[in-house]
Structure 1
Amino acid sequence: MSLAEKVSDDVKSALKSGDKKKLAIARFLSSELKNFLIKENLDRELSKISEDNFFKIVKTQVKQKKESLEYAEKAKDSNMIDTINYDLDYLNSFLPKMMSEDATKELISNYIKDHQFTSNDFGKIMGLLKKSHNNQIDLNLASSIIKKIFSE
């Protein structure tokens, strides 16, 4: 079962159990996935969504929810904060675990050593990281680590 199909199953199980919070976020994510299928002219089968595209869609939603959380915190709306945090937990449950900062630093150091990269190869390093560890590594963190390594 694909991750996209799991979202569809979550909608069904939330309907049966009466879990309104889970139903709301699962339906929302399901509609985003279906919008992607329409935009890409794919059949309306959730199984046609690749894992990379699924992660891209979920990451976009996480980013939007985090922005909404900032506004809710400024407005001190505790109900909205609780809802958004629940939504973030649900969305993050689909994303692979991100590498820790130490593991990221070690990986980058090994890449630099193994490929004998210099500070001029920043783009090559980032490209290699994105290609091999895209959904497991925070690319912003990786970028700052690379800059720090070459500034030393």
Structure 2
Amino acid sequence: MSLKQRLTDDMKAAMKSGDKHSLGVIRLMNAGIKQREVDERIELDDAGVIAVLEKAVKQRKDSISQFEAAGREDLAAIERDEMVVIERYLPEKMGEAEVLAAIDAAIAQTGAAGPADMGKLMAVLKPQLAGQADMGQVSVLVKRRLAG
């Protein structure tokens, strides 16, 4: 079953069960997916849906840090709850050892030797690790690996 279909099925189940919180978050995610499909005139596959969901999680993380800085723990808690619902649909995150193994494989594949090759290496890693690893963390690990 595709991720879009799973979201739709879960939305229907949330309607039937009266789970208003999950229903609202799933509707937001469906709206984001539909908006991107309309804007780009494409049908999103699972990778595209994951990209939309990851963007939503990143937005929630940014909001949480801003709310906490402003002393609004009540609003930060709402964002955390929404993030939990969204993360149900994202693939399991890879551990650091798995990410390092993927980086080593990409280095062997591309022949990257130094920091100047970082862009080439990230271009190979991004499609492989999308949705499975935090790309900011991957970037830090790649820099460390290429530096020495």
- TM-score, length-scaled by structure 1: 0.83
1:114 is displaced (CA, Å) by 5.4
Amino acid at match of 1:10: D
Higher Rg: 1
Give unpaired runs (5+ residues) of structure 1: 43-47
Query: Identity rate of aligned residues, in percent?
Result: 27
Shift of 1:17: 1.3
- Alignment RMSD (CA, Å): 2.0
* 1:20 alignment partner in structure 2: 20
Mapped partners of 2:72, 2:110: distance in 1: 51
2:147 aligns with: 151
How do 1:50-61 residues align onto structure 2 when only pairs under 5 Å count? 50-61=45-56
Q: How far is 1:112 from its partner?
A: 2.4
User: In structure 1, what residue type is equivalent to 2:65?
Assistant: E
The CA deviation at 1:55 is 0.9
Deviation at 1:121, TM superposition (A): 2.2
1:113 offset after TM fit, Å? 4.1
In 2: Cα distance, 1:33 partner to 1:116 partner: 37
Query: Is the Cα contact below 8 Å between 2:110 and 2:120 reproduced in 1?
Result: no
Match of 2:134 in 1: 138
Mapped partners of 1:27, 1:81: distance in 2? 20
Q: Distance in 2 between matches of 1:32 and 1:143?
A: 27
Residue range with higher mean Cα deviation, 75-84 or 30-39: 75-84
Say if 2:110 and 2:121, in contact at 8 Å, map to a contact too.
no
Question: How far, CA to CA, are the matches of 2:111 and 2:60 in structure 1?
Answer: 40
Q: TM-score, with normalisation over the residues of structure 2?
A: 0.85
CA change 1:77–1:100 in 2 (3 A) is: same
4+ runs deviating over 6 angstroms:
none
Instruction: For structure 2, list consecutive stretches of 5 or more residues without a partner in the other structure.
Output: none
| 1:102 CA displacement | 2.1
Q: For residue 99 of structure 1, what is the amino acid of its counterpart?
A: M
Q: Does the 8 A contact of 1:4 with 1:54 survive in 2?
A: yes
Q: Map 1:1-152 onto structure 2 (within 5 A).
A: 1-42=1-42, 48-113=43-108, 115-119=110-114, 120-152=116-148
CA distance in 2, matches of 1:134, 1:19: 30
